[in-house]
Structure formats: C-alpha cells, structure tokens
Structure 1
Amino acid sequence: MIAHLTDLQSPEACGRLVVKVGSALLVGKDGKPRRKWLTGLANEIAQARDRGQEVIIVSSGAIALGAAILGLEKGGRGSLADAQASAAVGQIALSSLWAELLGNHELTAAQVLITLEDLEGRRRYLNASATLHRLLETGAVPVVNENDTVATHEIRFGDNDRLAARVAQAAKANAVILLSDIDGLYDKHPSEPGASRIPMVWGVDDEVRAMATGDSDSGIGSGGMRTKVNAVEIAERAGIALVIANGKYDQPIARAIGLHGDDGIGTLFLARRHDTARKAWIGGRLRMKGTLVIDEGAVNALRDGNSLLAKGITRVDGGFVRGDPVRIEGPDGEWLAKGLAEYDAPECAALVGLHTDEQEKVLGYTPRSAVVHRDQLVMLR
C-alpha cells in the first residue's frame, strides 16, 4: 500500500511503476536528445529493476526529434501533416535511443505505439494490456508513446500524461511518476508570491481542480497541470497512486521518491477508490459519443447506486449507438457520470420521461432494465 513518496522505492508496495518523460526533458532546445540526462535516467530505471521493480516508460519526444531532423518549424506542430511526418522520423530515433540507453544496462527496450482508440475500445484495450503484461514477464522494458504518425486530432490523447495513466490501468501498475518541469501541484500558480507545493493529495476534488492551470513553462510539451490532474483522476479509479515531480534535475526519480534519505520532493496523489477493472476502464475513457441530461430525482438515484432509468432523462444529445460511452449531466449541466448506453440515441430520445410500463409500446419489444445499467456506470461527482 502506497502512503508516502518513499513507498515508491519498495518492490512490495510498488512492484510495477510507470515513468512518464516529457518532451522538454528528453529533447534540448537544439532538437537533439539530452543524452547526459537520459543516461542518468536509464541508470535510475536499471536501479529500480535491481530493486525488484518492473518499469514501463511513457516517452514523449518523437515529434520534437523528427522535426529537428526534417528541419520543420514550430517543433513539428505547425500542422497535423507536419506532426505526423515528424513522428514518422522521430519514432525511429526515439526507439533507437531508448534501446541504446537501456541496452547499456543489459535491459531490452520494447517499443509500444498506441492510439486513443487502442485504449477506448474494450477488445483492443485488453489486447494492449496482454501485450504489456507479456513484455514485463519476459523482462523487457516497454517504451510507450502515442502513435502520432496515424493519429488525427479527433483520435489523439493529445498529451502523454493521460496516456501514462491509461497505460498504468492497462498494465495494473501500482504507481505513475509524471516527470515534468515543476516540483508538483501548488496551491496557486508557482510564479505567484507565497505559492506552496502540496506534498500529498487524497483524491481530486473541485478545490484541487481549481489549483491546476493549463500553463507549461517549457513551450515544447503539450501538457500542463490540468492534464496532469486529469491523469490523476484516471489513475485513482484503478487504485493507482500518481506522483508529479520535477524532471529537470539529475537523478529525478531519486529526488522524487527520497532515495537520498529525505522524504521525497513532489506531489503524491493517493488513490481514494479502487473500481473494478471494467469500471476503471469506463471511467478512464476520454471520448463520449453523446449526452444524457437527467432530472434531480435521477441524480439522487445515481448517487444512491441505482441504474439510470428513462423516466429520469430530460434530454438526449449525440449520435451514439448501444454500447457507446455517454456523458450523464445533471439539470444544472454538471458532468455527473459516464456510462455505456443500452439503447441507440433515437431510442433513448423516444423513451425520455417514460415509465418502464410505457416503453414497450414505443419500442415494439420488451424494454431493457435501464438506459444505463449501474454495472456500466461510473460516478464522477
């Protein structure tokens, strides 16, 4: 059980660890890898393996590396075509780099390229999970990145913070370390006088979300504190602890988890829940296909652990089909839950406000027990 940053040193408390490396840490201003720093990080990963821990790396940097090689402006992010071309070149450089650095410690690097759809679809998610588990069983170190060569704006994670949390879910990891350009979560913007780092957070609530901003000091990465807090919410549903730590230092993992004899420097987000594997997958999904707006009575029913019935729905938006994920909103527009719809959107719209005994006449067949069954529903608030 992880309760302190120093627990991430222990193979008993943290047998499987995901480490996310941002673009600004991996690639210098000249577009070339920061080899000295990366060599130190590879050494830390080897030390974790020697302690008996399994490690998965989620590595940014392909677009930045490829853009420098191709001579593209704006770090390869001037257009979708530039980003995809940069990624195609950069992935080769990135995988070769990790293979070399880990190979110096007699560790085998395994490249795993993932798109959003690979982790949003249940079957593909399970396939990705099986691959990660098998690689770890063989002693390899999976190096995961978003497959930016084929991903479009509509099917992208867009940041590797949330990707790292989803990979941790799929791999059943104990913890995630997000190495970034800041020491952790602060009670206000760290540039403001009197800003204080928060060493530990027990679950994400509205107060914590209000502390997060979308700013990043680097100008290279695509994330910010807001995406990191989003990653925390994904991880905690699976009972996974997450650490935000500063990667600008030499031996950043040691600094974060207190290997030099201190208490560690970062923000540790403790998981306040542990959903079933399926509910954790539903709760971690990022793309909703539609929205169901519900009345106050239905809000109370969901909070009591009940399924969502047609009687409590006031509006249906979107073009979803049965089995698609839908957003469930309260009457004030607050996003309350995610769930898998039991009906196509037109059927849902036809059932709005109807009691169960009124639904068969509309549908032409015996209605299902709910529009969203409680076993396929995850509360967010």
Structure 2
Amino acid sequence: MATVSDAKRLVIKIGSALLVDRATGELRADWLRALAEDVVRLRARGTDVILVSSGSIALGRGVLGLPATELSLEQSQAAAAVGQIRLAGAYDQVLGAHGITSAQVLVTLEDSADRRRYLNSRATLEQLLRLGAVPIVNENDTVATDEIRYGDNDRMAAQVAVTAGADQLILLSDVDGFYTANPTQDPTATRYDVIEVITPEIEAMAGDAGSGLSKGGMKTKLMAAKTATAGGCDMAITQGAVLHPIRALEEGAAATWFLAQGDPQQKRKAWIAAMKPKGRVVVDNGAAKALRSGSSLLPAGVLQVSGRFGRGDPVEVVDEAGRTLGQGLTRYDGADAQKISGLRSDQIEAVLGHAARGPLMHRDDMAF
C-alpha cells in the first residue's frame, strides 16, 4: 500500500473548513503553522511539495462584511480579491519562518483545457520546485466565471497533481476516508483502507453533501481520485483538522488510499503518443541518437519543419531516412520553428527578437 514516505512529489489539498474558523471567519494560525512544519519535514527528506489551498473567499467575506449565506458570483469574486492577499501572506509568513519561499499560482479550468496554458502551468510549477519554492495553488476566483471554473478544489488538486507529474495527492478533509455510506447517517458504514479500482459500485456509494465552508462532497473527491489515479498518481483522503495532519497520516491515521493506474510519466507519454500530430520535424542523425538516449530536441539538430502548428501542439519527429522516432509537444509555433531550425541556442534571440524558450521539445514532453 502507498505511504507518504514513498512520495517524490506530493500535492496536498487544504479546504476552507480547515483553514478558516467557521465561527469567527479568522485564519486558524496554529493549524497552518503545524502544516508548515509538516512541509519542512517532507522537503528535508527530498520530497517536492505543492499546496492546493482554498480559503480566499472564506477569509475575504468576513473582511467585507458579507453574509454567511450563498454569495453571488460578483460577491464571491470580491471576497476572493480581498482574501487572496491575506491567504498568500499567511503562507508566506509560516513557510518563510523556516526559510522556505512560497509562490502564489492562480489557475482556472481553461489553464488545463488549453494545451498551451497547460504546458505553461507545468513549466512554471517545475521551475518553482527546481528553485526550491513551495507553490501555493488556488483557483483564480477573482476572474473565473462558471464556464471556466473547476468549481471545487478537490478536482483542481487532482488536475494540478497530474500536470505537475506528482506521484501522490493527499486531500485533507473533514472525514477520514471513503465509506460505504455516509457515516454520520448510517452507523453500519465502513471505511475502505485501499481502493484499487473505482468501480460503478464504489461510485454509487458517494454522496453529494458538502460541509460548512467547504463546497466539495464525497462525489467530487471520487471524481478527483479518478483523475489522479488515471494520471499515475496515488490519492489519499484523510482527516485534516488535527495538528500536523501529514505526520498523523505517516504515523497511521485513518485514511483511504486510491491506487494509481500506472506511473505518472508513463501515463503522460501515452497521452502524448495518442495525439494526432499537427506537423513534422526532420532531425539529423546526431539529434536522432541523442533523442534515443533520452535527450531533449534542440533547434540545432532540426533539418526541416513542416505543417501549421502552435506552441504546445503535438509534432511528429522523423530521422533523415524518414523513419518515425515519435512525437512531442513543441515549445515554438511552426513559423518560429522554421526560423530557428539548425540554430544554436545562443543564436535564437537575434532571429526571434526574444530569448529562447529552451529546447524545441523537452524530453518530458516527448514520447519515443
């Protein structure tokens, strides 16, 4: 069974009900400091950590004097604008006390639906982690409309986990796992320790009810599990209200683990390989050899570019003899790719008028 200590890259989802005191509307500072200590311990053993945090609307509504009832879209966006700066400041303070840099990342559903935005999000998260920062991800409620909203941070956390190539996702919840029925209504309900496959019978057990300041019910958590596990990421649901919830999980706290269906990198490669290519690049023999060894594709190794494609589109890669090597997601559109084919990286800025975007295709975005 999966354990937190196995994680190389971990996404932790934090709901509003854990961060914000329901009665006062104030931040639960002691709880957040304890979570920060969990993050410090995870990072000390080499685990990358991304936090997906609700709380901006819950914090902002109290400051603006908005009612505790359902808010209109405009009221929610106003509350998010006020609360987001307080939420980011709180994370900056508790992580900064340990010498850790925090980074605010605001996303909408469009950022994962649009391939170019998806790649930009992935690259940003990768760079932040490489530089030692902890990304704090939240839905951009100040601009998101119903058409471009995730609607709940459970599913958004799952998408972030898949985007970032995480191998584990932990949903800190007000329940300690997935039950056969609602345990507050059915005393015979039992909790699953492990769910290997999400069957129709499992789906039928999920309810819709949220709790308090939280929008997510068990149904959304199950949807998150389907997204995460399909992307090669284990997912756990566990009680988050206790101090040091991640340490508690490591020490055997009750939880339900949903097991990944394969490795996250393998799943991503399969996804890329299944796309219909929108263009083609021909590479020289040196580049072909480097690609087979796992290198990224540099413009210098490109002999010819054909097709009309944009940044983030799938493009076929062939060698000088016309043999297909595979395909990948390009970091340049077709016109720019043609301009820089055969050029060294230090020559690209003079041709395009801006700095190079790195390789033509990164090895993580290629399937060979």
- TM-score, structure 1 normalization: 0.68
Closer, same or farther: CA 279–159 of 1 in aligned 2, 3 Å: farther
Q: For 2:270 and 2:171, how far apart are their aligned partners in 1?
A: 24
Q: For 2:71 and 2:271, how far apart are their aligned partners in 1?
A: 35
Q: In 2, are the aligned partners of 1:19 and 1:55 still within 8 Å (CA)?
A: yes
Kindly indicate whether residue 213 of structure 2 is the aligned counterpart of residue 224 of structure 1: no
Cα deviations by residue, 1:115-159 (Å, 9 ceiling, x for unpaired): 110111111101100000000000000000000000011110000
Amino acid corresponding to residue 272 of structure 1 in structure 2: Q
Q: In 1, are the aligned partners of 2:195 and 2:256 still within 8 Å (CA)?
A: yes
Q: CA RMSD in A?
A: 1.7
Kindly indicate whether residue 135 of structure 2 is the aligned counterpart of residue 146 of structure 1: no
Shift of 1:171: 0.6
Percentage of matched positions with identical amino acids: 47
> Paired residue for 1:358?
none
Q: For 2:41 and 2:74, how far apart are their aligned partners in 1?
A: 39
Q: In 1, are the aligned partners of 2:231 and 2:261 still within 8 Å (CA)?
A: no
Q: Give the one of 237, 261, 282 matched to 1:244.
A: 237
Q: For 1:32 and 1:264, how far apart are their aligned partners in 2?
A: 27
Closer, same or farther: CA 219–46 of 1 in aligned 2, 3 Å: same
Cα deviations by residue, 1:46-94 (Å, 9 ceiling, x for unpaired): 111112111000000000101011111136x410000000011111001
Q: In 2, are the aligned partners of 1:203 and 1:236 still within 8 Å (CA)?
A: no
Q: For 1:120 and 1:282, how far apart are their aligned partners in 2?
A: 18
Q: Give the one of 153, 157, 176 matched to 1:160.
A: 153
Q: Give the one of 4, 7, 16 matched to 1:8.
A: 4
Shift of 1:257: 2.6
> Paired residue for 1:84?
77
Q: Which runs of 4+ in 1 moved over 4 A?
A: 278-283
> Paired residue for 2:260?
271
Q: For 2:241 and 2:80, how far apart are their aligned partners in 1?
A: 24
> Paired residue for 2:180?
187
The answer for unaligned runs of 5 or more in structure 2 is 275-368
Closer, same or farther: CA 277–62 of 1 in aligned 2, 3 Å: same
Shift of 1:264: 3.7
Q: For 1:90 and 1:47, how far apart are their aligned partners in 2?
A: 28
Q: Give the one of 169, 194, 197 matched to 1:200.
A: 194
Q: In 1, are the aligned partners of 2:4 and 2:249 still within 8 Å (CA)?
A: no
Q: For 2:57 and 2:151, how far apart are their aligned partners in 1?
A: 12
Shift of 1:232: 0.5
Q: In 2, are the aligned partners of 1:185 and 1:225 still within 8 Å (CA)?
A: yes
Q: For 1:171 and 1:282, how far apart are their aligned partners in 2?
A: 19
> Paired residue for 1:304?
none
Q: In 1, are the aligned partners of 2:78 and 2:142 still within 8 Å (CA)?
A: yes
> Paired residue for 1:135?
128
SS of 1:100 mapped into structure 2: helix
> Paired residue for 1:377?
none
> Paired residue for 1:22?
15
Shift of 1:208: 1.1
Closer, same or farther: CA 266–90 of 1 in aligned 2, 3 Å: same
Cα deviations by residue, 1:159-217 (Å, 9 ceiling, x for unpaired): 0001101001111001000001000001111121121111100021111111111113x
Q: For 2:123 and 2:201, how far apart are their aligned partners in 1?
A: 37
The answer for unaligned runs of 5 or more in structure 1 is 284-381
Kindly indicate whether residue 29 of structure 2 is the aligned counterpart of residue 35 of structure 1: yes
- TM-score, structure 2 normalization: 0.71
Q: For 1:220 and 1:281, how far apart are their aligned partners in 2?
A: 38
Q: For 2:171 and 2:192, how far apart are their aligned partners in 1?
A: 15
